[in-house]
Amino acid sequence: MDYKKTELSCDVLIAGGGVGGLTAALEIKEKNPDLDVLIVEKQTAGYGGKANKGGGVLQYFDPKMSPAEFVKFHVENIGCYLGDQEVMYKYVEMNTEMLEKLISWGCNLPKNPDGSWFVIPTGPMTSMITVDLDITLKMRQRAEKLGVRIMDKTTVAEFFVEDGCIKGAAAYSILDGTFYVIKAKYVVVATGSQNYRFASMWSSGRGDGIAAAYRAGAEMRNCEFGNFTQIAKVKSHDEVVFGENNMYNAKGEFITPHFRSYRETDINSNAIREWYWQMLAGTGPVHLEYPEREQESRPAEGTDSKEGGAAMARLFDRPYGRTFRMLNTISSQSADQGSMEICPLFIGEQSPIRVDGNMATSIKGMYAIGDCSYTGSAAPGAVPAPPGRNRGSGILNAVFAGIVCGDAIAALKTCGCAPAEIPAEKVAAVEEAIYAPLKRTAGHKAKDVIDLVQKAVVPIEQSVYMKEDRMKKAEGIVAEAREAAKDLRADDWHDLLACHEAEAMVTCAEMFYAASEMRKESRGWFLREDYPDIDNKNWLKWIIVQNVDGKMTLRTEDVPIDKYPNKPE
């Protein structure tokens, strides 16, 4: 298939036009209007990413609670001491600033008549407010007014790096195949997490930016904390937020106390393990009931309490978004066990691009923000990307990272690298690799590879509650997928994108299993049946994955716990 070739240049190239990419663009242009900012989005900026697909929830921290208090709670109860406490503190400290910025960009956030935020508690030390589903459309409108350039229906496929410094990227149009070489002083990766295309609401997280950053040599961190799983109804496939609080087995036994002794901020991996144990023991299926003894937990879920139901109705009063009907009368009397049967819903949420406190990667001039670098920032500790056991942390983390990254770039005059052209032979090699699937008349389709990767990662006993023999089985399937990916075949430009996304799934799965095998303990969301305990003596460490001369290498770094205020006993 014929295609055009075009060369572009800019000061700042932002790969991804979701909430994170738009935040970075807005912050840069507001702080340094002279910088030329270009967003390249493979779908449509304002509609891309996950923020406008049903999330619309922002984490809120009560001003009466100090950032230090929340960080201590999070480190001890959620992150299990594996997090960067300084970055987490900064995130909490900027809460009000982030909310006010969203309002200044035209986003609709609910407030009470007295001007205070309209807030709903969600668990210990956590609350949330909502933002309407047009959040990214409002942000795009503001960005364009400030002079941000936007290219839609164009995917960033590879990054050009010379002498450890970013030089730009290769991209192509998914409409007509135009090949772009984009020279840039700075590159911001804002392409989202790897969700393995399984759960529909999260399927836009394809991990292609993560894989491209890995191929470019960027360090990855916490790849093993990348498989989030939620509770869902078997018949309807509907996600049931906080459903883990009301789990019963087929014998009618209340099994929630088996894995938690108090109401937690969100689902933990032990709930998924309990479901697995019940099914193995023959006491499944597992279902939900809402008996009288659980009534005290209902207002936060918007169920039986009139006050709670009214609050949730207002919380989801988002004019742009579709009408949300909150269920107010679910009970064991109004629904049979069959309709309330639940199972784990695999979501994914791998986000490993390593960044520092300014969201800079290990490649000079390259930054990564939002869901592609959440666990790579190490801020949350031993959990996957948002919700990361904190509802509303997804959108707000992307806003946080975008602001921090934008401020850092806006303040810089140069990336410190000597100017240089991108070698023609490197451009030619990248171009050849990108379009190779279109030149094949035989080979595997993208779906063949996707099906294999999903066969490896979706079963919870191979991705959440793991054991060496089960991981080996999954790794064998991923190896099949890698072999199949060598001769991917595409029929058109959209099919070409699917091929590259499928290959990215393989790379992300390889990183996940390599790091998971290396970490011989259980911590936070990461569970191994053969190593069931936290091991602070040997594994208070970050695992770093990096592509070195085409080979996947792994090493560990000690968490600098001595410089943090919260330490394990």
pLDDT in tens, 117-154: 889 888 788 888 988 889 999 999 999 999 999 999 99
Statement: residue 416 has pLDDT above 80: no
Q: Concatenated DSSP letters for 208-237? A: HHHHHHHHTT--EE-TTS--EEEEEETTT-
Tracing tokens 């066969």 back to the chain, one arrives at 455
Surface-to-core class of residue 149, CB atoms within 10 Å of its CB (0-12 exposed, 13-18 middle, 19+ buried) = middle
Average pLDDT over residues 251-264: 92
Average pLDDT over residues 457-480: 97
Whole-number pLDDT of residue 48: 87
Q: Kindly indicate the confidence band of residue 569, based on its pLDDT and cuts at 50, 70 and 90.
A: confident
Give the integer Cα–Cα distance in Å for 94 and 400: 8
Q: DSSP 3-state assignment of 116?
A: coil
Pairing of strands 5-15, 37-40: parallel
Residue 97 structure tokens: 């600033």
* Closest among 554, 556, 529 to 540, alpha carbons compared: 556
Whole-number pLDDT of residue 306: 44
Q: Kindly indicate the confidence band of residue 419, based on its pLDDT and cuts at 50, 70 and 90.
A: low
- Whether 463 and 225 have beta carbons less than 8 Å apart is answered as no
Give the integer Cα–Cα distance in Å for 262 and 257: 8
Average pLDDT of the chain to the nearest whole number: 90
Q: DSSP 3-state assignment of 325?
A: coil
In the beta sheet, which residues pair with residue 166? 161
Average pLDDT over residues 424-447: 97
Q: Concatenated DSSP letters for 72-110? A: HHHIIIIITT-S-HHHHHHHHHTHHHHHHHHHHTT----
Residue 33 structure tokens: 């209007």
Give the integer Cα–Cα distance in Å for 224 and 245: 26
Statement: residue 381 has pLDDT above 70: yes
Statement: residue 335 has pLDDT above 80: no
* Range in 42-56, 322-336, 430-444 with the lowest mean pLDDT: 322-336
* 8-state DSSP, 364: B
Average pLDDT over residues 213-238: 94
Statement: residue 90 has pLDDT above 70: yes
- Whether 83 and 92 have beta carbons less than 8 Å apart is answered as no
What are the percentages of helix, strand and coil residues in the chain, rounded to 5? 35, 20, 40
Domain 5-226+347-410 falls under CATH 3.90.550.10: no
Average pLDDT over residues 353-371: 97
* Range in 48-52, 444-448, 450-454 with the lowest mean pLDDT: 48-52
Q: Give me the phi and psi of 210, to 5 degrees please.
A: -60, -50
Give the integer Cα–Cα distance in Å for 557 and 551: 19
Statement: residue 294 has pLDDT above 50: no
Please, what CATH class does the domain formed by 435-534 belong to? mainly alpha
Instruction: Please state, for a pLDDT cut of 90, what percent of the chain lies above it.
Output: 76
Determine the distance from the C-alpha atom of residue 556 to the mean position of all C-alpha atoms in its chain, rounded to a whole number: 23
Residue 448 structure tokens: 């063949």
Statement: residue 324 has pLDDT above 70: no
3-state secondary structure 7-68: EEEEEEEEECCCHHHHHHHHHHHHHCCCCCEEEECCCCCCCCCCHHHHHCEEEECCCCCCHH
* Range in 25-39, 121-135, 315-329, 385-399 with the lowest mean pLDDT: 315-329
* 8-state DSSP, 564: S
Determine the distance from the C-alpha atom of residue 349 to the mean position of all C-alpha atoms in its chain, rounded to a whole number: 4
Average pLDDT over residues 275-295: 85
Statement: residue 251 has pLDDT above 50: yes
Residue 343 structure tokens: 């199972």
In the beta sheet, which residues pair with residue 57? 130
Statement: residue 165 has pLDDT above 90: yes
Q: Concatenated DSSP letters for 356-423? A: -TT-B-SSBTEEE-GGGSTTTTTTT-SS-STTTTSTTHHHHHHHHHHHHHHHHHHT-S--SPPP-PPP
- Whether 271 and 244 have beta carbons less than 8 Å apart is answered as yes
Average pLDDT over residues 191-217: 94
Q: Give me the phi and psi of 233, to 5 degrees please.
A: -75, 135
Rounded alpha-carbon distances, angstroms, from residue 187 to 15, 155, 157, 479:
7, 14, 13, 31
Q: In what order do the strands lie in the sheet with 220-221?
A: 220-221, 541-548, 551-558
Q: What is the largest CA-CA distance in the chain?
A: 71
Whole-number pLDDT of residue 391: 84
Pairing of strands 341-348, 286-288: antiparallel
Average pLDDT over residues 337-358: 92
Statement: residue 334 has pLDDT above 80: no
Looking at residue 508, its amino acid is C
Pairing of strands 465-466, 527-528: parallel
Average pLDDT over residues 521-548: 98
pLDDT by residue (tens digit) across 469-524? 999 999 999 999 999 999 999 999 999 999 999 999 999 999 999 999 999 999 99
* 8-state DSSP, 526: B
Domain ranges of the chain: 5-226+347-410, 229-346, 435-534
Q: Give me the phi and psi of 57, to 5 degrees please.
A: -120, 135
Whole-number pLDDT of residue 8: 96
Tracing tokens 């990254």 back to the chain, one arrives at 405
